Structures are given as structure tokens and as C-alpha cells.
Chain A
Amino acid sequence: MSAVAEAPYVGREMRRKEDPRMITGRGRYIDDIAVPGTLWIAIVRSTEAHARIISIDKSAATGRNDVVAVLTGEDLAGDFAAPMAMVWSPPGVEIKTPEYWPVARGEVKHVGDPVAVVVGRDRYSVIDAAEHVVVEYEPKPVVVDPEKALEDGSPLVWEQFGTNRTHEWKVSGGDIDAALADADVVIEQRMVNHRTAGGAIETRGVLADPNGDKITLHSSTQIPHILRFVLSLLLGIDEDNLRVVAPDVGGGFGSKLQVYPEEVIAVALAKRLNRPVKWIETRSEAMMATHHGRDQIDYITLAANSDGTLTGCRARVVADLGAYQLLLTPFIPELGFPVMGGCYKIPAIDLTFEGVFTNKFCTDAIRGAGRPEATYWIELMMDKLADKLGMDPLELRRKNFIRKEEFPFTTALGITYDSGDYEGTLDRLLERLDLEAFRREQEELRARGIYRGVGFSTYVEVCGLAPSRAVGPQGVGLQAAFWESAMVRVHPSGSATVFTGASPHGQGHDTSFAQIAADRLGIDPQRIQVIHGDTDQGPWGWGTYGSRTISVGGEAVARAAIRVQDKAKEICAALLEAAPEDIELVDGKYRVRGSPDKFKTMAEISGAAHIPPQELPTDIEPGLEATAMYDPENFVFPFGAHACVVDVDAETGKVSVVRYIAVDDCGPPINPMLIDGQVHGGITHAIGQALYEQVVYDDEGQLVTGTFVDYAMPTAAELPSFETDRTVTPSPVNSLGVKGVGEAGTIAATPAVTAAVLDALAPLGVAWIDMPLTPRRVWEAISEAQNGGAQA
């Protein structure tokens, strides 16, 4: 693409522009916004996992001081135009989708289902009043285990469907039957990738503020534009009368990529009562009513020749979707399919995904969303295959890697990987980890009863959602598109504002987008402000999730800024009596090529654009701004090689991560400091899943992990500092060459951690343990192996 500044801001470790507010307590999150006259909302939630509502007695609550209204699902029936939305409609496949109303009508399907809404004048008094709403239930049979839910005679979550199976979706390429029949070695494994929570430290919250016919919804969301679009349909309010604002958002991790019942309820109540209404989720509510992630049981088969050449892979995935379908619920398990073959050449791949209803809350996107699960299968199966063949697991990987010169590479499933250098990241990793020395140390430690192990993950992931036609209605079947937008406006005195349709919640786009724009405008990034998260400001956009924002939203910024640069050159040329093609942007100056003393600054050019001098031709439109909408031609495929070293206490089963090395490749860095930060957080999220975290329901569907006391997220004390490194393989898909990195660590790390534990315990005969690798599970696996020989 045409000229960027000679000493570019892109690539520099710049301190974030966002931070001065946040480190001084001046951030503005949802609960920090106060509107006079606001009424508070508390939700009465089901205590039953599955029941018919016999009666709701509101009288004791209604009469309390400060209570304005108590409303049930029946009371609110006229306030909602349509039930909650699910947007995946794959061609040729029916997905069972029950009517899901924001407040239950007649039956509840999981613990935490909204049963009634209390509105009042005070934060505390509405919670008091909610406890005085008396609901009488007739319990119905409950099912929580997805495989039992598929058995004949299982209790049904939705009787009208006659089954708990929501859908079956298949994708395949190559001749899997022949591959399995002809292979020298075929290995199989059942794996459980358990249910987890997003765990953003800020819970959800909404403030709906009516003004005349228009309602503004402030919501802690990742998707303000999608939210407005869907709310308009669910509430029958035209979009021009709805404004959605995402203020500072205290973490998302996919859990705020959703349209939730409480968002619909808040707008409906603001409209009904014509008063501002606010709801701030408690952590206990978040654990039961903010969507969960993962929760699948995977049956994986991997086939190879005796020399280690992979010949085929088959997977059957049983995905526990919970009680309802939310925005992307049934689609998330399938999102891993493009990278099911990992970074390996596998000529035949065959995948079947089954969704299942259970009496739990919905699953949906949580950091990685389908790709951590796919990476977990393939990486651990590679280790098992190496063990079976008596090969070194890294040599087995190298033998099957797609080679650098083979890109773009089209997989058996027809997915085209854009670029990669899988040997390069593995080589770099092994420069940092002396494996021979490690093996010697491991032997010495084992002799002293210390079980140390190393696990590897050479991952590839798919992100950059997305080519709209590939994933849209006639492609994969999402009733949506995934381009992104940017509007770049240079002000008369030479500072600039970038409006983006993306909506960050910690990623640092105020800084990285300013860096991208700065190089292309010739303006210092400190004089460029990035505006996001407000549907009344800037162009439509699809939001921030799926590691898409730099490669799609950032590219939109680059394109809009180049359009502004082109116009600035045209104006400059007119002012300097030169040809536009002779103007070059160097060190913030628009100068005549070959005559460096003849130049204009952006402030001079923008001044002339806004207040045109006589010499500026009248056919140049006034003003200096441009908009770009960018729909990529392909996904991008970041990759890397990770190694985890753990110590396992064989007496207690406790696992300690003692070293973690990550070599990632996401193309040319925009701000390397921000990339490292994303990798650190991503790895930690995965260590949390691998070792500590699990959302647990008991057999009656009661949520056992209802608070942060029971849901164990890692603290600083459980972790080492991380070692990070990078290689740089540009993507040909966008002009920046960038790929996403927000989920890379989470996608890479669960197999590395699990493999490290299995490596540590190999001398004790432990062949498999399902996550989370808690002391109890590890201890039990050791005991079982010692007493009963190696398990399957």
C-alpha cells in the first residue's frame, strides 16, 4: 500500500492512551454511570432446574417501600415482539430452537431462569423485595449429562421436540473410510472438554434511559451495533429510536458477545415506565446467567502409516448446549472445524457435531470458542500417536507439518490457510528450551521422587471473522456478516478522530488504531482519538470478538486513513502547484518528491480543506474525512509453538506450572507490548481451565460453583512469569499483514499443560486424565494406574 511514515509508529511499544484514566480510578464502567431518577431492577430467578410454575405471589413484594412494580413473564408478554434470537441457520440442517422469552412463561428450564422482575427506587430495596416474591413450582425431571440426555427414555428438556438432540452438523473431506481401513495405526480417545465461565471481573450491567421516543441503552457489551439491531427486532423499536453505548467494559472473553434477556428487559421497562432503569449483575447471578463455554465430549480417531505420516482424522463431538439457544450457542462447537487438522497435512477429515439440550444455562462463545477444543484434540492425539509409534512427538509433528513453501495451503476440508512457518516457531521454541538438558534433569528429579514433565502444543488457529460470504446465510449459515468499518476525520487544526465499529474491552485499540492511522496520516498518535462503542457515533460495525479486530477493524482504519492521505496529497499538490502523484508523506510532512523544502503539514492541509483558499480548485470537496468498510477475502491463521513445564506432587496430585514458553506468530506486530499482554492473559485463561476451573451442576441441576469461592480462577500465586517470543510471517490477506492474537494463548495452552502432566506421570503408568487436572483427579489417576495398571 502507498506510503507510510518512514519511522513508523506501527511496531513500536507505545504506552496505552487508555491507561491514565484507568490507573487513577477515572474509567467509566457501566455501574459508574448515574442518571437522575433511575429505578433499579432485581431479577427473581428460578431455584429449580426444571419445573412448571404453579403460581407467583407478588403481594408481599409489591407492598414494600420503594417498590414501583413487580412483573412476571405473563405481565410482560405484550412488551416483547419476538423471543430471544439465535442466528445460525446452516443450509439443509434444522436446529431445534425453542421459544425463549426474557422472563419465563409457564416453565423454567435451568437454575437462574428469570421468573419475575422487581423495579424500585434503591439498589438494596429491590433485592429485598425480590426475596419476597413467592414462586410455587412443580418440579419436572432433570437431565444434566449430555450423553444421558441422548439416551432413549431420558427426561426431555423440551417435550415438543421428542428428543434432546438439537441438531447434527457434518463436514468432511477425503475418503475417511479408506483412510481408516488402510492405515497401519489407528488410535482412539474420548476427551471431555468441560464447562467453563468467562470470568470477566466486571459483571454485566445495563442502564436504559428513555428520552422522548428514543431509548439509550448503556450496556457492558462487546457488540453494541449487533445488540441494537437485535433489540430492535425483539422489541419492535426502529433502530433510529435506539442507541446502544458500550462504556468502558471490564473484560468480556466472549461472555459479553451476546444479546441477553436482561438487556431486552431493561429497554422494555424503560419504555413501559418511561423512566431510566438500571440492573447490575451480581457475581452469583453471573455464574448462573452469563453464558458458559466449552462443555463437549469428543470421540477422536487418528490414523497414520507406520512411518508417522497422517492419513485420516475422525471426530464426533457431543456438545452440551444447555437449556436454550442464545445468539451463537449451537454454532460455537463447530467454529473449531477449520483447524481440526491442526498444522498438519491430513488427507481425510470427517467431523460430526451433535448438540444436546440439558437443564443448565446456555453455552456460547468463551475465549477461543471451538478452537481450544479442536487444538486440544489434535495436539494430544499427536502425542498419543507418537507414543504408539515409538516416535518423538516433535519429530512426528515436523514430519506432518504443512511446509512454509506450501502456503497458501488448502486442507482436506477446503479451508485455505493463508501463510505459516510451523518449523520456524518450533525451532525458536527449542532455542529457548534445551530439550536434551530438560530430559536429563527430568531423570535426575524422578530419581528423587519429583515428577516433572514437559508438554508441547504446535497450534494453528483461525480468526479474522470473516469473509461475510463464507460464513453468511448461503455459506456456513450465520444470519449476519462480519466486515468492519472505520471513519477517519482530520480536524481543521490537524488532530484527528478515528471512529470504529469494533468495540474493545481491554485490547488497547485506542492506542493500536491510533498507531495505524498515525503512519498513514502523518499525525502524532497522541493527537488521534479513537471513538468506539456508540451506535450514534461513527459507522455500523460488528464488534470485537474472535481475535478479529486488528485484522479486520485495523485494516479498515488503514484503508480509511489511506483515503484521507490521498485527498491530503491532492490538496497539498494544489497548494504547492505540483502533481498529486509527486507528493510524498515523510516524517509527518507532505512534500514534493525531490524538493524536500517544499512541503505542507497536515494542519496546513486540513486547514485548507475546511476553509478553502482561492487556489484550491472548486472540484475538491471541502472537509478531510473518509470511511472504509472492509470485508476480508479470507480468514487469517495465526500459529505458534508453546511448551509448558510442570511439577506434579505424586502424594497429593497437586500440579504446579514451573515454566511456560510461548512462541507466537501473528504477523507484523502493531504494538508488541499489547501482543505479549494478550498472550499472557490467553495462556492464563487456559491454565485456569486445564488445572482449576470448572462450572459444576449436580445431578438435580443445582449450580455447585455459584461464586468465586467455588469457581477457582488462577491468582498470581499459582503462576510463573511467562517467556514469550515471536516470529513474523505476514498474512497476504490484509495490507497490514496482521493476524489476531487475542485467543492464541487460550487456544494453544490447554493441550500443552495436559501433555506436561501426562509426561510427568508417564513413569507411574498414567495414560490419560480429563481436565481440570485438580489434585483429586490427578491423585485418583495415579492411584488407579498404580493399582489397576495403565488405563486406556
Chain B
Amino acid sequence: MSTTVAVRLNVNGAVHELEVEPRLLLVHALRDHLGLTGTHVGCDTSNCGACTIHLDGKAVKSCTVLAVQADGVPITTIEGLAPEGGLHPVQEAFWNDHALQCGFCTPGMIMAATALLTENPNPTEQEVRHGLEGNLCRCTGYHNIVKAVLDAANVKSASLEQHPEVTA
């Protein structure tokens, strides 16, 4: 495939100008072109959610979006969720509550959870469970993930101002 197109990817507050194949998936642009390997790939059918990022503030599976479709749209990945050296309250809660084991689903799970809390800052357990049903985890049985999201909801409103997402 020799045809390429120009695309401007606005990721974690930095703009990158790339020449890519029109078919390049956004997740591969992030991983292979920009070196942002925190966004993972776990399936080929958009079931597992390991590749979840924020596209214009909404949780999106980046294996289901072409890089060219994300042209100019603010993107946040796990690497940009909190300022360098800091942790978003959801990241902190995942650590405190042992909400990860192998860690592979974790970035996508955290990105889905943060978007969930943006839409619904005080969810019930059932709302968290249904809100995360697009993300698969094989290690934790979700118990501690759900706990972490509920715990983060309790502290999030207070600390969100101190941890705004890094977007342009």
C-alpha cells in the first residue's frame, strides 16, 4: 500500500503530523507511530476494550477508529490522563484497591471508568458494572475494579480540579 494521507493527531496536548495509510487504525498510530504503548490490543472485534481512549472526552475503542477519522480531534490516552508524575483519582483507586493483576486490560479499563464517572459522577454498583461491560478482564473477576471505581467516585469530585485531563 503506497498511498498515504496526512493526518494531525492531537494526543495528550501535543500535535503530531503523520503520513499514514488510510486504513491505519488509530490504536496502531498511537502505539507504532507515536510510541504510546499504554493503549493495548486484546481482540479483533472491539469486544475487549483494552484499546479504550478518550476521543473528544468520550470513551472510544481505538481499534474501531481509523487514524484519519481522529484528525484534529483531542485524544487522551492513559499516558496523558494525569500530569507527569501524578495519578488520576481512578488510577490511585486502582492501585489502592488491587484492581489489576496482569495489568493488560488496565489502561482501557481506567479510560472507560474515567469517562463513566464524567457522565455519572456518583454511580451505583450496578451502574458501574453495566458501564464497564465493554471491557474484559480475565484476572480480577471485576470485584476490585468495581470497588475502585466506586471509591474513586467518592474522592473524584473533590480532586478533579487538581487533576484535569491533559488536552489541548
Cα–Cα, bound, A203→B102 (Å):
12
Cα–Cα, bound, A32→B137 (Å):
20
Contact check, A506 vs B125: say whether CB atoms are below 8 A apart: no
Cα–Cα, bound, A284→B82 (Å):
34
Contact check, A25 vs B78: say whether CB atoms are below 8 A apart: yes
Among A19, A202, A684, A709, contact of B47 (Cβ-Cβ < 8 Å): A709
Which residues on B sit within 8 Å (CB–CB) of A32? 31, 37
Contact check, B102 vs A282: say whether CB atoms are below 8 A apart: no
A685 within 8 A of B: yes
Contact check, B145 vs A125: say whether CB atoms are below 8 A apart: no
Contact check, B141 vs A673: say whether CB atoms are below 8 A apart: no
Contact check, A708 vs B45: say whether CB atoms are below 8 A apart: yes
Contact check, B41 vs A31: say whether CB atoms are below 8 A apart: yes
Contact check, A201 vs B129: say whether CB atoms are below 8 A apart: no
Q: Of the 9-residue stretches A416-424, A458-466, A716-724, A756-764, which lies at the interface with chain B?
A: A716-724
Contact check, B79 vs A24: say whether CB atoms are below 8 A apart: yes
A609 to chain B, nearest CB (A): 35
Contact check, A250 vs B147: say whether CB atoms are below 8 A apart: no
Which B residues between 76 and 116 are near A, CB-CB below 8 angstroms?
77-79, 81-82, 87, 91, 94-96, 98, 100-107, 110
B136 within 8 A of A: yes
Contact check, A25 vs B44: say whether CB atoms are below 8 A apart: no
A546 within 8 A of B: no
Tell which of B21, B103, B142, B145 has the most Cβ of chain A within 10 Å.
B103
Contact check, B141 vs A684: say whether CB atoms are below 8 A apart: yes
B30 to chain A, nearest CB (A): 10
A505 within 8 A of B: yes
Which A residues between 16 and 45 are near B, CB-CB below 8 angstroms?
16, 18-29, 31-32
Which residues on B sit within 8 Å (CB–CB) of A154? none
What per-residue 1/0 map shows which CB atoms of A590-604 lie under 8 Å from chain B?
Answer: 000000000000000
Contact check, B103 vs A709: say whether CB atoms are below 8 A apart: no
**A19-B95, A22-B106, A23-B106 given as contacts; is B44 within 8 A of A719 (CB)?**
no
Q: Chain A contact residues (Cβ within 8 angstroms of B): what range?
A: 35 or more
Which residues on B sit within 8 Å (CB–CB) of A722? 141, 143
What per-residue 1/0 map shows which CB atoms of A647-683 lie under 8 Å from chain B?
Answer: 0000000000000000000000000011011001111
B113 to chain A, nearest CB (A): 10
**A124-B23, A681-B139 given as contacts; is B104 within 8 A of A202 (CB)?**
yes
Among A27, A673, A708, A717, contact of B129 (Cβ-Cβ < 8 Å): A717
Which residues on B sit within 8 Å (CB–CB) of A203? 42
A399 within 8 A of B: no
B156 within 8 A of A: no
Which residues on A sit within 8 Å (CB–CB) of B21? 124
What per-residue 1/0 map shows which CB atoms of A541-553 lie under 8 Å from chain B?
Answer: 0000000000000
**A202-B42, A251-B139, A684-B141 given as contacts; is B101 within 8 A of A716 (CB)?**
no
Which B residues between 126 and 145 are near A, CB-CB below 8 angstroms?
128-130, 132-145
Which residues on A sit within 8 Å (CB–CB) of B129? 715-717, 719
What per-residue 1/0 map shows which CB atoms of A195-214 lie under 8 Å from chain B?
Answer: 00001111100000000000
A283 within 8 A of B: yes
Among A29, A123, A201, contact of B137 (Cβ-Cβ < 8 Å): A201
Contact check, A200 vs B102: say whether CB atoms are below 8 A apart: yes
Which residues on B sit within 8 Å (CB–CB) of A677? 98, 101, 139-140, 144
Contact check, A713 vs B103: say whether CB atoms are below 8 A apart: no
A724 to chain B, nearest CB (A): 9
B62 within 8 A of A: no
Contact check, B144 vs A680: say whether CB atoms are below 8 A apart: yes
B134 to chain A, nearest CB (A): 8
Cα–Cα, bound, A128→B23 (Å):
12
Among A19, A201, A719, contact of B104 (Cβ-Cβ < 8 Å): A201
Cα–Cα, bound, A507→B135 (Å):
21
A170 within 8 A of B: no
Contact check, A507 vs B101: say whether CB atoms are below 8 A apart: yes
Q: In this complex, what residue of B is CB-closest to A672?
A: B98
Among A19, A23, A31, A506, contact of B139 (Cβ-Cβ < 8 Å): A506
Contact check, A250 vs B103: say whether CB atoms are below 8 A apart: yes
B158 within 8 A of A: no
Cα–Cα, bound, A201→B139 (Å):
9
**A19-B95, A25-B78, A124-B1 given as contacts; is B44 within 8 A of A283 (CB)?**
yes
Which residues on A sit within 8 Å (CB–CB) of B141? 680-685, 719, 722, 745
Which residues on A sit within 8 Å (CB–CB) of B95? 15-16, 19-20, 23
Q: In this complex, what residue of B is CB-closest to A128?
A: B1
Contact check, B147 vs A721: say whether CB atoms are below 8 A apart: yes
B78 to chain A, nearest CB (A): 4
Which residues on B sit within 8 Å (CB–CB) of A124? 1, 21, 23-24
Contact check, A201 vs B50: say whether CB atoms are below 8 A apart: yes
Which residues on B sit within 8 Å (CB–CB) of A23? 78, 87, 91, 94-95, 100, 103, 106-107, 110
Q: In this complex, what residue of A is CB-closest to B32?
A: A123
Contact check, A673 vs B102: say whether CB atoms are below 8 A apart: no
Which A residues between 444 and 503 are near B, CB-CB below 8 angstroms?
none
What per-residue 1/0 map shows which CB atoms of B35-47 lie under 8 Å from chain A?
Answer: 0111111111101
Tell which of A65, A676, A677, A716 has the most Cβ of chain B within 10 Å.
A716
Which residues on B sit within 8 Å (CB–CB) of A27? 38, 103-104, 106
**A199-B138, A708-B47 given as contacts; is B103 within 8 A of A716 (CB)?**
no
B44 to chain A, nearest CB (A): 5
B2 within 8 A of A: yes
Q: In this complex, what residue of B is CB-closest to A26?
A: B38
A412 within 8 A of B: no
B54 within 8 A of A: no
Among A65, A680, A719, contact of B2 (Cβ-Cβ < 8 Å): A65
Contact check, B98 vs A506: say whether CB atoms are below 8 A apart: no
**A20-B95, A31-B37, A708-B136 given as contacts; is B142 within 8 A of A716 (CB)?**
yes
Cα–Cα, bound, A128→B130 (Å):
37
- Of all A-B residue pairs in the complex, the 3 with the closest CB atoms, nearest first, are A25-B38, A250-B104, A22-B103
Which residues of A line the B interface, CB within 8 A?
15-16, 18-29, 31-32, 65, 123-125, 128, 199-203, 248-253, 282-284, 505-508, 673-674, 676-677, 680-685, 707-709, 713, 715-717, 719, 721-722, 745
Which residues of B line the A interface, CB within 8 A?
1-2, 21, 23-24, 28, 31-32, 36-45, 47-48, 50, 77-79, 81-82, 87, 91, 94-96, 98, 100-107, 110, 125, 128-130, 132-147
Q: List 18 A-B contacts (CB under 8 A).
A: A18-B103, A24-B38, A28-B37, A123-B32, A201-B104, A202-B42, A203-B42, A248-B102, A250-B40, A250-B103, A251-B104, A677-B140, A684-B142, A685-B138, A707-B45, A715-B136, A717-B130, A719-B141
Given A31-B31, A250-B103; 14 other pairs, CB 8 A cutoff: A19-B100, A20-B95, A23-B110, A27-B38, A27-B106, A125-B1, A202-B102, A250-B105, A251-B102, A680-B141, A681-B139, A685-B138, A708-B43, A715-B136
